[in-house]
Each structure stands twice: as C-alpha cells, then as structure tokens.
Amino acid sequence: MNPSPISPADTDVPALVLQLAELLQPRRWMMATAESCTGGLIAGACTDLSGSSAWFERGFVTYSNEAKSEMLGIDAALIAAHGAVSEPVARAMAEGAIARSRAQAAVAVTGVAGPTGGSPDKPVGTVWFGWSVDGRVRTERRRFDGDRATVRAATVHYALQTLAELVRA
C-alpha cells in the first residue's frame, strides 16, 4: 500500500507559507482566501507565520451558500444552478475575494470533506479550487482520499502549493 502523499501532519505547509511570503512581499502584493470546506484553515496556516500581515490581507470563511452570496457577492442563482461545489462557484469565490479585498492574489476552495454530503457526481473528497493571481483566474477539480481531516489537509496543501506556483510564474 502506498502512503498518502499528503497527511494532516504534513510539514510542507509552513514551508509553502514561507515561500508565498517570499514571493508576495517583493511584489508588494497581498493575498486573500475564500474558504468553504476548509473553514479558515488556509488563512490559519498563513497567519501562523509571524509577520504575515505584510502580505496576508484577509480571509473569508463562507461555509454556507448565504455567506458566499453575502460576503463574496456570488449570485444565489449561480449556486442554485451549479451547486456550491462546482467550477463556476470556485471561480466566483476567487473573483469575489479579489473584488472585496485589496489583494492581488486569492485562493478559493469549495468541496465535500465528508464523511457525509457526498453524491455520485460529487463524492466525498471532491474539491474545486479557484485561484486569482494578478487578474488571471484558474480553476481545478481534485479528489482526495481519506477521512475529513485528511481531505481538508490535502486541500490546504494543494491550494497553497498551486498559489505559490501561479505567483512565481
């Protein structure tokens, strides 16, 4: 059996946060997060680093559909048409985080962390990501295996890793 490449005890997250800080600060860029399934864990990982106020601007925890609409300006009809765990909603979350902050880089996550809530179309472990970096938006769907903590940890890791890659590019 192959071990999961990402676990809740993943020690790469602090290193990824440090990388982000080193990429964002010289550009004088700020970062924002829009989180659903991770409930603020990405923002928490970022603010674990002392001095993060120099590059971390704010985090939106939009767990409910109403919060996505109220805090990020996402049209309720978009959520009703596609579901909260979808590409259009992940994109709108990233764009909303940028529009409602002073950030130039944002990451958004919406998914099914489990153990309940999955469906045949969106099984437990399904996560949609949205990143907005300097006006360019990218989305991606991933599926992570494991329990709730493992799915959330993998989501945090992948969100930060990809954001660092996009800022670096």
What's the mean per-residue pLDDT of the chain?
94
pLDDT in tens, 74-125: 999 999 999 999 999 999 999 999 999 999 999 999 999 999 999 999 999 9
Assess whether pLDDT exceeds 90 at residue 41: yes
Q: Beta 136-143 vs 56-61: how paired, if at all?
A: unpaired
Q: What is the amino acid identity at position 137?
A: V
pLDDT of residue 4: 38
Furthest CA-CA distance within the chain: 45
Gap between the Cα atoms of 82 and 2, Å rounded: 35
**pLDDT of 9 strictly over 80:** no
Q: Which helix (H) or strand (E) holds 91?
A: helix 87-99
What's the pLDDT tens digit per position in 10-37?
559 999 999 999 999 999 999 999 999 9
User: What tokens were used for 141?
Assistant: 């769907």
CATH class of 12-168: alpha beta
Kindly tell me if the per-residue pLDDT of 2 is higher than 50: no
Q: Which two tokens stand for residue 4?
A: 């999961």
Q: How is the chain split into domains, by residue range?
A: 12-168
Residue 11 is predicted with a pLDDT of 59
